[in-house]
Structure formats: structure tokens, C-alpha cells
Amino acid sequence: MTKISTQLIQGSNGSDDDKTGAVSAPLYFSTAFRHPGLGQSTGYDYSRLATPTRELLESQLATIEHGEQAFAVSSGMAAIDLVFSTFTKTGDHFIASDDLYGGSFRYFDNQKAKYLIDYETWNGQDTDQLVQLIKPSTRLIWLETPSNPTMKIIDIKKVARAVHQLRSDILIAVDNTFLTPIYQQPLTEGADIVVHSATKYLGGHNDILAGAVVVQLAELAEKLAAQLVTTGQTLDPFDSWLLLRSLKTLSVRMHAHTQNAQFLAQKLATLAGVDRVLYAGVGGMISFYLNDNYDVNTFLQGLKVCSFAESLGGVESLVTVPDVQTHHDMPVVNRRALGITPNLIRLSVGLEDKMICSQICSTPLIMLRKTRPDP
């Protein structure tokens, strides 16, 4: 494969060379495509099945994740739903890492209630423990690493080896939203499925809602393709085009996110108002615990540059309080057990200038410290 930056920038170009030589990929809105004759097709018939623009995007996604086939869908949740469509049968069982996107848990619980499938959670660390959770009815292992929001790292390779040694038919899916293929390529580590909320880093500008599923096995790809044609949660041409354009800067953005986040993680660790910083070392996501003597709401209201908002992965820095936002649907006992407390703050470190980036979080904390003395 071409090096990833070159692939991201050049990989979708040249599709119009026969006609115009356009450097940037053309955008086709057409939902219907003329047939040359009876029983003949240009390769495109109707846009729920395939469109030239989405196809280019899917080919790029498959290449950068080292998969055989990718599916571009209307949101990250649609991507998760597409994966689950491959197996949800009454009595099926799956195992999920315990600290992940709150919406995924909401989805799991919904599936459990509707289809009587069952799931258990695993702490993402001890693979012997994971293997013990496997039952004859287990179909899938669902991982998110680094975990969300407490940034635990799961060793995908180790999990894949342990699980597939025991049962090659259990699928391992990894939600790769946080690190993207720039830092983590789960399919090369033995996973079977990669899922993205492309709304986050792949899109990167807080302006596209999209999702992706990438797989390696042809049989699985066929199942997913058939399901997608049936249910139709595909990504529309314009968002496909925007996402293709966003991908061109993915590598540059991810490295810049890392630089800013490393800088900020170090700064945060020195502040009196911060008890503990959780950071995986790469990527743009940081969580930290605000000291008990500091008020979360005052902290949020003191933010000058970045926004208190519920998303991540964009060029704009965003601050989230998982306990009341992303993870609020999780039972409170589970949240507390995982360390999701009311004073846990999650930062999606954007690409603003480093000085502003450090002000983002240190200024309100320093201000607070002046008005609220340490005990």
C-alpha cells in the first residue's frame, strides 16, 4: 500500500480522467442511472445500491483500514446497527469492553430488550477473564480502545489471538473512532470488523454525521452489503464527497491533534485544580478529574475559546462532561465503578494554536483557584 498520507490525498483522484481530468473527485447526485440496454448496466443502477461518489469513499476507507470492503453509512450508530444485523438472533450472546461510547450501551440494551440477545462486559485487560466469558452462543466481541472516557488501552492482538484460538467463528469488532487508522489498524491486528463514527476524526470539522464499517472477510462483506441495500442507511453523495475531502487532511490533523494534546496533558497535570489526567499518549482525547474543591459548572462557564458541547474529533476543541452527557444513559453504579464521576471532564483537543489551547483549560482553573482557596 502507498504510504497513508499519499493514499489519503491522492487515492480518490483520477476517477474522471477519461472525461475531464478533474483533480478533485466529481460529485454525482443522480439517484438513477440509464441502462445501455436490456440486462445491461454501467455498474450503477440506483443510488441505494451504489453511487460513484460513495464508492470512491468506500474504496478509500477500505484501503486505509487494510480491509477488503468498506460501507459508508449515515452515522456511527448506523454502522453499529449494520454490524449487529449480521447476527442478532434470539439467544445470541456477545461481550463488550466495559468503558465505551454511551450510545453503544444504549444500543446494546435496546437489542437485549428487543431480541433477547445477551451481553456481558469485560474490563479490557485480562484476556483469561475474557475467554472465560465466552459461551457456545457467543457471536461477537466488541472493543473500543482507548476506552471512552477513561482511556484504558486494550491489546487487540492479544484479544484476537486468545479468542480466535478458541473459536474462529467469533467476530471481533473494534470501534476505531478515537485513534483512526493513522494510529491503529485493528484489521492488521487480527480484528474482523472496524467501525467508525466518521462524524468525529474522519470528518474532523464538526459538520458531517457519518459512519463506516470496514471488513476483511468476503462472506461477511456480502452479508453487510445485502443488509445495507435492504435497509438503506447509506451515506448520501454530498456527505460522501465532504468526507472524502476531509480524509485528505486526516494524517496532518491527527498528528497535530496529538501534538496539542500531549502539550495540554502535561500542562493539566501541573494544575492544582486537576487531580488526575488520563491520556493514551497519542490522539486528541484527554480526560481529567477536576479537584473536589473546584466547581464543574464554573469551570465550564469560564471557558473562553473552546465549547462545552457533546462531540469530539473536530478541529474545534470541545469539552464534555461524560457523566451528564455521553454516558448518562449508563446506570449510575456502572458509571461510578468505571470512574465516570461528576467531576470527570473529557476534552477533545482541537487544532487551535498551542497558546490558546493551553489557555483553554488552564485559565479558568487558575481563575477558580484565586476565588476558591485550597482547603
Ligand X SMILES: *Cc1c(COP(=O)(O)O)cnc(C)c1O
Q: Which residues bind ligand X (CB under 6 A)?
A: 75-77, 101, 103-104, 144, 148, 175, 177, 197, 199-200, 209, 211, 312
Neighbours of 325 (CB within 10 A): 16
Q: Count other C-beta atoms under 10 Å from residue 63's C-beta.
A: 19
Identify the DSSP state of 46. Answer: B
The nearer residue to ligand X, 197 or 251, going by C-beta atoms, is 197
Considering 98, 175, 192, 239, which one is annotated as catalytic?
175
Q: From the CB of 309, what's the least distance to ligand X, in Å?
A: 12
Nearer of residues 51 and 197 to ligand X, judged by Cβ: 197
Amino acid identity, position 304: K
Rounded least distance, CB 110 to ligand X, Å: 14
Q: Which residue has the cell 474490563?
A: 123
CB 84 within 8 A of CB 111: yes
What's the farthest any 2 CA atoms get from each other in the chain?
Answer: 82
CA distance 105 to 93: 15
Residue nearest to ligand X (CB): 76
Active-site residue, selected from the candidate residues 44, 48, 115, 289: 48
CB-wise, 211 or 283, nearer to ligand X?
211
Residue 119 designated active-site: no
> Judged by CB, which is closer to ligand X: 9, or 209?
209
User: C-beta of 209: minimal distance to ligand X in Å?
Assistant: 6
Least distance CB 333 / ligand X (angstroms): 22
Q: From the candidates 54, 92, 99, 101, give the one annotated as an active-site residue.
A: 101
**Minimum separation from the CB atom of position 36 to ligand X (A):** 38
Q: Does the active-site annotation cover 200?
A: yes
Sheet harboring 344-348: ordered strands across?
A: 274-279, 285-290, 344-348, 318-320, 307-308
- Do residues 310 and 320 touch, judged by C-beta distance below 8 A? yes
Query: Which is closer to ligand X, CB of 200 or CB of 253?
Result: 200
Burial profile 184-209: b = 16 or more Cβ within 10 angstroms, e = fewer = bbbbebbbbbbbbbbbbbbbbebebb
CB of 311 to ligand X, least distance (A): 7
Contacts of 276-282 with C-beta under 8 Å, sequence gap 24+, read 278/149, 278/150, 278/151, 279/151, 280/146, 280/151, 280/153, 280/178, 280/179, 282/179, 282/183, 282/258
| DSSP string for 266-324 | HHHHT-TTEEEEEE-SSSSEEEEEEPTTS-HHHHHHT-SSSEE-S--SSSS-EEE-TTT
Please say if 48 is a catalytic residue.
Answer: yes
Cβ closest to ligand X, residue 179 vs residue 187: 179
44 or 183, CB closer to ligand X?
A: 183
Would you give the DSSP letter of residue 234?
B
**Dihedral (Cα; 120, 124, 128, 133), 10-degree rounding:** 10
Q: What is the closest distance, in whole angstroms, from the C-beta atom of residue 239 to ligand X in the complex?
A: 11
Q: CB of 124: closest distance to ligand X in angstroms?
A: 14
**C-alpha grid cell for residue 272?**
492544582
Question: SS3 of 174, please?
Answer: strand
Q: Which is nearer to ligand X, 67 or 313 (CB)?
A: 313
Q: Which residues are catalytic?
A: 48, 101, 175, 200
